[in-house]
Amino acid sequence: MPPRRKPLPNPLPNGYILTDTEKKQWKLGEIIGQGGFGLIYLASRRLDAPVPSDSDFVIKVEYHENGPLFSELKFYQRAAKPESIQRWKKRHGLDFLGIPSYFGSGLAEHNGTRYRFMVMDRLGKDLQKVCAENGGRLKRPTVLTLGCLLLDMLEFIHENEYVHADIKAANLLLGHRDPSKVYLADYGLSYRYCPEGVHKEYKENPKKGHNGTIEYTSTDAHNGVAPSRRGDLEVLGYCLLHWLCGKLPWDSMLKRPVMVQEAKAKLMANLPDSIIELSPSGTSTGEVAKFLLSVKSLGYKERPDYLKLRNILSEGLSKAARKEGPLDLSGPREEARGPTPRCKPMKVKPTAVEAPRPRPPPQEDSGCAAKADLPGRPPIHQRRPKMQPRLSHPQDEKKRQTQPKQMARRVEVYDDDESDNEPNSENQGSPHHPYSLRERPPSKQDTSWGLKHWGGVITILFFLIFVILLVLEPQIPWSRRVVVL
């Protein structure tokens, strides 16, 4: 579990003088922020003047017994010395490496309370606030560029036997003087995974499970395993996915670490489809899916191929975006999406009533052809011509005259709703009429049943009675049968 938070220290008075281990003195200014365990003050080397509001130094102050600041101090003293950073930048051809500068540390006592302090570079706004201003998302080129920059920082940290173990937007800060530069700060949870070149062994400890920020906690950290290089890269992959999509699949279950762990395991088991499906409209998560797929194949002690991972993220960047320059920290609202083509409505100005003008004869090259280009409207030469009235053929007229005249039946007008229940629709009226015309069902008076029809029925009935008597009662004498009949 993450370290238990203790109350923030009592504020030290403005103008208080602190002396570090190298006997350098620092003057405290106003409080400009606070972390999870301590307060952050403006500071200055000038003791004879108030601390200016644009000072380039800050001092983090915590209670002496707090562990995070002690871990951060050890990281800077062992791995992030200024000369080590300069040698690394020169060897790898880097103009910038986002590791904050460390200037000193020490202990102090005030009103019987002991404090630990550390002097650092002053940094600007964190990336979490930038994301919040943009609706929780960043542009895809910005996210991929941040991934490449963080790989540079992590490679330096890992090569110096440490892992960060808490990468997130709140720990990424913009430069105070140059906001285009991004720094990875807050090494309170950093861990020395390979002391003296000997890697820690893989060992699960449920009591230490789910350590770190739950949204981005790695699989190893969920299982209580000591942080490693592959864990840092897995956390980075979750951050990139969050900055691209604005959310993570387990955001609704952050208070249940076990469910978050299961959701992450499901996501990693179904790569790359599980991440590609999360792509918001107008962008793609393909590079992040490949990145996490490569991280998933790493062993606990295996050294990552940082160049390969950088190339995966660089695939989604254009040549112009790969050049060093200020980051575009605006939101993805104005990302390139082709505007939907629409026809502009014609503006009609009211004019006086004029006499109708004669219509010119249709021509193939006339201006009306422009109307045919409207969506859903066929060209003029493909439109169906109007129906012409059907002319009677002489043979049909002659046939009609030779047919015997029949009694005219009454025809009534019925509504279309009633015609839905009729099985026969051959006698419907003209389609140009709003109603349907059909023959009214014949009444009893119009029936053509005569005596010849009833006589046939009576004959059939007598024949059936006769057959029944012959079959069912063969012992009845013929005299009685005749009587019965």
Secondary structure letter of residue 15 according to DSSP: T
Say if residues 188 and 37 touch (Cβ distance below 8 Å): yes
Cα(97)–Cα(95) distance, rounded to whole angstroms?
A: 7
Q: Does the annotation place 60 within a ligand binding site?
A: yes
Between CA 422 and CA 427 the distance in angstroms is 11
Measure CA of the first residue to CA of the last residue in the chain; give whole Å: 109
How many CB atoms within 10 Å of residue 404?
Answer: 4
Residue 228 gets the label, from left (phi > 0), alpha (psi -120 to 50) or beta, of beta
Task: Tell me the β-bridge partners of 42.
Answer: 58
> What's the rounded Cα separation, in Å, for the pair 445 and 178?
103
* Structure letter (DSSP) for residue 17: E
The catalytic residue among 166, 186, 220, 232 is 166
Asked about 416 being catalytic, the answer comes back as no
Taking a C-beta distance cutoff of 8 angstroms, is the pair 62, 9 a contact? Answer: yes
Amino acid making up residue 301: K
Assess whether the previous peptide bond of 272 is cis (omega < 30° from 0).
yes
Beta bridge partners of 58: 42, 120
Q: Where are the alpha helices (DSSP H) in 28-139?
A: 67-78, 82-92, 127-133
User: Which residues fall within 8 angstroms of residue 339, CB to CB, at 6 or more apart?
Assistant: none
Q: Catalytic residue numbers?
A: 166
Residues annotated within a binding site for ATP: 60
Binding residues: 60
